[in-house]
Amino acid sequence: MSRIETVSGSARERWALVIVLCLVHLVSSIDRHVLTLVLEPVGKDLRLADTQLGFVQGTAYVALYAIAILPFGILLDRINRKLILLLCLILWSVGTAVCALAQSFEALVAGRMLIGLGQASVVPAAMSMIAGAFADRPFGRPVAAFTASATLGRGIALFGGGGLLIWLAGSETFQALDELEPWRRLLLLSLIANAIVLVAVVAFGLSDLPRMERVRELAISQVLLANWPRYVTYLGCAVATVMSIQVIAAWTPTVFVRTFAIAPAESGLLVGGLVLALGAVGNLSGGVALDSFSRNGKRAATPIVMIIALSGAMIMALMLCLADHIVIAAFAFGGATLCLGAATPLAIEAIQRLTPAKFRARVTAGFVLVVTLLSLGIGPVWVGWLSENAYPGPHSLNHAMLTVLTIAGMLGLTSAVTASLLGDVAERRPA
């Protein structure tokens, strides 16, 4: 089908755009994951059960996220994306502050809902901007860099948060916050990064490159119907990958605390350090492998890389959940982080190549919505419920994690194999 793609900006401008978007994604990930580090003290202070903690982590976050993401997608295809991102950054920062000051389960849920609402615009806006900026070349690497920033944010939340938690427990530096528990001070201090990024975006700008235009107009329904088998298979891959990441991110620090009797701060340093060391490496490896296979004309490049990554992740997840020594568990967690990191950019990059530019924000929003509902909205709370109701004994959380991760892994592998039979997405290039 004939098309005209208009791209503005030099290579430096394009990568500058990617860097700014990565910073926004970084702080959004920190705010989303820092609560994971302090689940134990939060649960004790507010007297919350595992199911409630799982609800706060996943379902509460996804509630307004799910409602807002499609309207955001429509707005992002039509109006200035920089303004929307700035307003949403402010909104989810307010949500983080609400969580820090929450005195009840209901207040904590409200704060997480605000965070989810604010962060609903980030991925649709960024992916449509990156795809437009790199429309005349493979963009596995910029997409991988964007996803790597979220992985780095998760690692910073856990590793940096763990270090801060240890320091805050014995520090009197912030006298105005002395009346607050260390976990509350940690959440408030995380907002410093948000303020820095907000100032940077305003000061240095966030170029909203022109959207590509098509010669022949298509309805969004025609696009979806023409490619629905591929959309469904990549959706299955993405759900499996993100659910596995969220389950491991949400519960591994607590598993380490309960299984190996280490402090929450020590668990955060260990888990966060591994995420920092290996998560972004995995993201970038997946993007580089995808671009390399695509340039060499490898058939079904995306599904092949996905099958390799998810197979490795399943093996590592089995080791993580059954390990009886913290060294083995840490090794397995690192391996799972690396493999799942490699899988993360693959499906979302394929969706951009499947979708015409004028619909990318909306289609990406819908795609992310379904992935988020099924992975983040179900995964963590499902583990919490299984831990309380299906598996007795001191290792109930380990067995619950293993059950959910196995189901997610099988879904991902089945979807990836199906995608390989359909053939990879044809690379989109200017006519």
pLDDT tens for 382-416 read 898 898 888 887 788 999 999 999 999 999 999 99
- The predicted-structure confidence for 329-358, as pLDDT tens digits, reads as follows 999 999 999 999 999 988 888 888 888 877
Under the banding of pLDDT at 50, 70 and 90, the label for residue 214 is: very low
What's the token pair of residue 69?
A: 């993401």
Q: Is the pLDDT of residue 243 over 90?
A: yes
Structure confidence at residue 217 (pLDDT): 56
Provide, rounded to the nearest whole percent, the portion of the chain with pLDDT above 70.
89
Q: What is the mean pLDDT of residues 190-216?
A: 70
Rounded to the nearest angstrom, the gap between the alpha carbon of residue 355 and the centroid of all alpha carbons in its chain is: 21
Predicted TM-score (pTM) of the model is: 0.74
Q: Is the pLDDT of residue 120 over 60?
A: yes
Rounded-to-integer distance, Cα 271 and Cα 292, Å: 31
Among residues 126, 96, 89, which one has the least CA distance to residue 113? 96
Rounded-to-integer distance, Cα 147 and Cα 126, Å: 10
Contact between 387 and 397 under an 8 Å Cβ cutoff? The reply is yes
Under the banding of pLDDT at 50, 70 and 90, the label for residue 11 is: confident
**SS3 category, 111:** helix
Longest dimension (CA), the chain: 65
The DSSP 8-state label assigned to residue 391 in this structure reads -
Contact between 283 and 144 under an 8 Å Cβ cutoff? The reply is yes
At CA 118, angle to CA 179 and CA 96, rounded to 5?
A: 10
Structure confidence at residue 78 (pLDDT): 78
Element (H, E) at 127: helix 122-133
Structure confidence at residue 427 (pLDDT): 42
Structure confidence at residue 401 (pLDDT): 94
At CA 72, angle to CA 2 and CA 241, rounded to 5?
A: 80
Convert 289-313 into a string of H (helix), E (strand) and C (coil). HHHHHHHCCCCCHHHHHHHHHHHHH
Q: What is the mean pLDDT of residues 424-431?
A: 44
Locate all alpha helices (DSSP H) within 38-80, ordered by sequence: 39-46, 50-54, 60-76
State the residue for tokens 């998810």. 310
Under the banding of pLDDT at 50, 70 and 90, the label for residue 237 is: very high
What's the token pair of residue 161?
A: 């948060």
Rounded-to-integer distance, Cα 47 and Cα 61, Å: 20
- The predicted-structure confidence for 278-320, as pLDDT tens digits, reads as follows 988 999 998 888 877 777 666 678 898 999 999 999 999 999 9
Q: Which residue has the higher pLDDT, 425 or 145?
A: 145
Locate all alpha helices (DSSP H) within 210-279, ordered by sequence: 220-226, 228-260, 264-274
Rounded-to-integer distance, Cα 121 and Cα 414, Å: 30
Structure confidence at residue 340 (pLDDT): 95
Structure confidence at residue 23 (pLDDT): 93
Contact between 34 and 241 under an 8 Å Cβ cutoff? The reply is no
Among residues 134, 96, 109, which one has the least CA distance to residue 5? 134
- The predicted-structure confidence for 262-276, as pLDDT tens digits, reads as follows 888 788 788 878 888
> Across all residues in the chain, what is the average pLDDT?
83
Structure confidence at residue 431 (pLDDT): 33
Structure confidence at residue 150 (pLDDT): 87
Highest mean pLDDT among 79-93, 232-246, 362-376: 232-246
Rounded-to-integer distance, Cα 350 and Cα 348, Å: 5
- The predicted-structure confidence for 353-386, as pLDDT tens digits, reads as follows 888 877 888 888 889 888 878 887 788 888 988 9
What's the token pair of residue 150?
A: 């979220």
- The predicted-structure confidence for 159-171, as pLDDT tens digits, reads as follows 777 777 777 766 6
Structure confidence at residue 175 (pLDDT): 55
Structure confidence at residue 341 (pLDDT): 92
Q: Which residue has the higher pLDDT, 220 or 322?
A: 322
Structure confidence at residue 353 (pLDDT): 82
**Of 173-177, 185-189, 296-300, 376-380, which gets the smallest average pLDDT?**
173-177
Q: What is the mean pLDDT of residues 30-47?
A: 87
CATH topology of domain 11-422: Growth Hormone; Chain: A; (1.20.1250)
Rounded-to-integer distance, Cα 346 and Cα 246, Å: 17
Q: Which residue has the higher pLDDT, 228 or 113?
A: 113
